[in-house]
Chains A and B, each alone.
Chain A
Amino acid sequence: MTSNRPPILEVRGLRKSFGHLEVLRGIDLEVLPQELVFIIGPSGSGKSTLLRCCNRLEEPTGGSISIDGVDLMARSTDINAMRRRIGMVFQSFNLYPHMSALGNVALALRRVLGRKRTEAEALALAALARVGLAEKANAYPAELSGGQQQRVAIARALALGPKIMLFDEPTSALDPELVGSVLKVMRELKAGGMTMLVVSHEMRFARDAADRVIFMDHGLIVEEGTPEQIFSGPREVRTQAFIAEIAR
């Protein structure tokens, strides 16, 4: 773990309610540069909401979030400029069906960074190459497998040069045989020094790729530690129950 460097993501006392339902009840979390933090927990524990608060797709009800030292909640913060630095990958890919893979990746480069078409497409092609899909640049999402679509979605986020990547159950919508290709790309990102916050059920991936595993339940962080600590010797009863449940 890289120490002595300020965290890329710093979450303090984060709360989020939907009406009367309090989904996040005070979360404190730091993600250091190049760290891969893995969030596990039962469904409804607030994992995805936490992730979605980190780029304000969900508006937090309380607490603070800063990315690379910039307060995400401050009025003076340009949220669109910040979102470029926060890559997000969704469970359902959410590729734009009316655009080719290249178009999907190049759009934000052109419309947000204002790159010229040729320049944006060169950058997009490089991003597609990083996920092993340069040869599918002209394919439309409907012509790609789920695993390929998710890799294009990763390239779309990657092309903007993010400081941190948020993965919201990136393999949950995939057929089992396609999961490996996405995890391989995530491993390569990790090896390349990308800072990542991952919500997922891929426990084997967590074991061998995560620096830290966080167990959430009922809107709170119950326990955190190395994968070894969480998976082999959890201290909290709720963590033990969850680990026992998924190990069956």
Chain B
Amino acid sequence: MDAWSRFLDAFFKWQLIERYLPAILDGMAVTVEIAAAVVITGILLGLVLAILRAFRILPLSALIVIFADMLRALPPLVLVLLVYFGLPSVGINLPSFAVLWLVLSCVLAAFAEEIFWAGILSIPKGQWEAARSTGIGFVSTLAYIVLPQAVRLTVAPLTNRTLAIAKNTALGMVIGVSEILSQATTGQSFAGNATPLTMGAIAYVILFIPVVVLGRWLETRFAWRRA
């Protein structure tokens, strides 16, 4: 057997592709579900935290900063294991799917909060002053003047961070969430062949390339009209 067929046999074995395709497709569905749930709750929670921080209530801001710094410092895998194996000891039993969703949402929220906050801070003071000088209140100024501009600035960094966190759904493997990587490694152990892992890799590319493209499109779409 020449090198080329050995390579194909190790990574692209046709019988294995056929055998494990249904499992990988199931895994893709699970990955999409968790990733979508994480993106929605993570970004919304991050936005809410950034808005709360804008009120500059000292104890509240301190809590938000601690939350954001802790969750950005800890490796997500550590959090996943800690929550999954720790919560049952205090009588809380969450399904592994829920643990993964909860942890990744909080991690994304921590990063998103920092990104939104940086966006809010980058809006010139004059924008606040102009709005306040026409009698528009703090909350409305935030809602109609500051956030629309801040959010536009955050599209690029937020897309990158969201992608990075969404890919962490692969951590579900260690707590038995049947997402792509989980299905692929199971297939690999049974077959003794890397082909299911190749399929898993391809599945990730298929899922996440469109998100990268969408991010690029959003970036141009949200740049407001210039002369």
A-side residues, CB < 8 A to B, are: 55, 57, 80-84, 86-88, 90, 92, 94-98, 107-108, 111-112, 140, 142-143, 153, 156-157, 160
Indicate if B220 sits at the interface (CB-CB under 8 A): no
Knowing A57-B133, A81-B135, say if A92 contacts B225 (CB, 8 Å): no
Q: Check A140–B130 contact: CB distance below 8 A.
A: no
Does B227 reach chain A (CB closer than 8 Å)?
yes
Complex Cα distance A76/B131, Å? 22
Contacts of A94 in B (CB 8 A): 124, 126-127, 129-130
28 contacts between A and B (CB under 8 A): A55-B133, A57-B129, A57-B133, A80-B136, A82-B135, A83-B135, A84-B135, A86-B133, A90-B130, A92-B126, A94-B126, A94-B129, A95-B130, A96-B145, A96-B149, A98-B149, A98-B152, A108-B134, A108-B136, A140-B224, A140-B225, A140-B226, A143-B225, A156-B130, A156-B134, A157-B134, A160-B134, A160-B135
Q: Which of B127, B129, B152 has the most CB of A within 10 A?
A: B129
Tell me the dominant secondary structure on chain B's binding face: helix
Which residues of the other chain, B, contact A57 by a CB distance below 8 angstroms?
A: 129, 132-133
Q: Which residue of A lies closest to B148 (CB)?
A: A98
- Residues on B with C-beta less than 8 A from A80 are 135-137
Q: How far is the CA of A84 from the CA of B148 in the complex (A)?
A: 23
Any A CB within 8 A of the CB of B7: no
B130 & A96 in contact (Cβ 8 Å cutoff): yes
B:142-170 near A, CB below 8 Å = 144-145, 148-149, 152
Q: How many angstroms between the C-alpha atoms of A160 and B135 in the bound complex?
A: 9
Assess the A96–B127 pair: CB atoms within 8 A: yes
The answer to whether A111 and B136 touch across the interface, beta carbons within 8 angstroms, is yes
Q: How far is the CA of A163 from the CA of B192 in the complex (A)?
A: 83
Which chain A positions have C-beta within 8 A of B149? Answer: 96-98
- For residue B140, CB closer than 8 A to chain A, the reply is yes
Ordered nearest first, which 6 A-B pairs have the shortest CB separation?
Answer: A94-B130, A108-B134, A94-B126, A84-B135, A88-B133, A83-B135
